[in-house]
Amino acid sequence: MGRRGAWKKWARGAAVLWGSFTLVFLIFTAVPDPARQLAGQQADPEVIADLQARFGLDQPAWVRYGRALQALSPLGSLEGGGWGLRWPSLGQSYVRPASVVSLLLEALPATGLLALTALFFAVCLGLPMGLIAARNPGGWFDRIAVGGSVLGMSAPSFFMAILVGYVFAVRWGGWTGLPLTGSLWDLDDQGNTTIALRNLILPAFTLGLRPLAVLSQLMRGAALDVLSAPHVQTARAFGASETEVLRHHVLRNALNPVVTAASGWLAQLLAGAVFVEFVFGWRGLGFLLFEALEQHDLPVVMGGVLLVSFTFVAVNAMADLTYRLLDPRAAQG
């Protein structure tokens, strides 16, 4: 990949960030009176006017849009005077007495841990399932894997979250010992704050079901293509065992589409954690965005969408680099 192709990728990433920001801004601009939504329908006009002036809601939409873009720019006026590089600002929350950046940084570790755990679960089970199914296509395991993958890809996340929570926490809660709701931080019997990793099991399992289904089918299809390739048939003719064929020939060549899909799913898991976190009470980025949407907290919603979009762009760039490391021929294309 030449320098021109790299610039195109950066330009597309910047366009994704700008488009996400603009779309969310336009959606919230359609709200008739955000200040009235914040203060309540029965609030005094003075309270509404104070909120409008405090957050700049009394300005035209194009003025607020320009100020928000200016705040996001890394180049602008500094506090001590003059112009230079600065940290982009996402503004202040309408509801909470805190900056949007601090709220996102507080919620991001819990969601990042949830998404990475779900992806780790999907990769660790999906790759072996796809390989085993490809070894005997049409067999009983292949049929079960294909049927389960169709079910996992078609079931909505909120439905699976309710179903998993009901089965493993309500019906079988006495046997599993898993709670229905809980976050990363919990209180022990002495009132001290501790890390409660058991609260991670059910939401991570639920969130990882769909990427598990997708990755297993991708690995199965890629492995079937590689197994029918001439160099694999030659290796078998020279006496290579099936395990050696899978390890040295199939796995490496079949990983390229799987790596691309897994990297894309990491960003999608961050975005799709809203319903899962809400059902299981996992206080992360998705839970924060759900509350912000409910409270019409525009800066927090815009900041969360921008963070997910940035993660999507960054992860795709890392996936492209990994893809070129796995297949050096891609770097020459």
Query: How far lies 320's CA from each of 12, 172, 214, 308, 333, in Å?
Result: 14, 43, 19, 18, 12
Element (H, E) at 214: helix 201-227
The angle formed by the CA atoms of residues 162, 275 and 98, to the nearest 5 degrees, is 140
Does position 318 have pLDDT exceeding 80, yes or no? no
Percent of the chain, pLDDT > 90? 6
pLDDT at 280: 92
Confidence label for 204 from pLDDT (cuts 50, 70 and 90): very high
Q: What is the pLDDT of residues 266-316, one digit of tens each?
A: 667 776 777 888 889 888 888 888 888 888 788 888 888 888 888 877 777
pLDDT of residue 37: 64
Q: Which of 239, 307, 227 is nearest to 273 (CA)?
A: 307
pLDDT at residue 76, rounded to an integer: 58
Strand partners, 99: 92
Q: φ and ψ at 98, to 5 degrees? A: -155, 160
Q: Identify the pLDDT of residue 6.
A: 59
Give the pLDDT score at 267: 66
Structure tokens at 19: 């488009």
Mean predicted lDDT score pLDDT of the chain: 78
Instruction: State the pLDDT confidence band at 1, using cuts at 50, 70 and 90.
Output: very low
What is the rounded distance in angstroms from the CA atom of residue 46 to the CA atom of residue 25?
26
Domains delineated in the chain: 3-85 (no CATH), 100-332 (1.10.3720.10)
Q: Is the pLDDT of residue 203 over 90?
A: yes
Highest mean pLDDT among 19-28, 86-95, 237-246, 314-323: 19-28
Average pLDDT of the segment spanning 26-55: 71
Segment 74-121, tens digit of pLDDT: 665 556 555 656 677 788 888 888 888 899 999 888 888 998 899 889
- Residue 39: band (very low, low, confident or very high) from pLDDT cuts 50, 70, 90: low
Q: Pick the residue with more confidence: 152 or 171?
A: 171
Residue-wise DSSP of 46-103? HHHHHHHHHHTTTS-HHHHHHHHHHHH-SEEE-TTSSEEE------B-SSSSSBHHHH
Burial class (CB in 10 A: 0-12, 13-18, 19+), 254: buried
Per-residue pLDDT tens for 168-198?
999 998 898 888 888 887 766 676 778 888 8
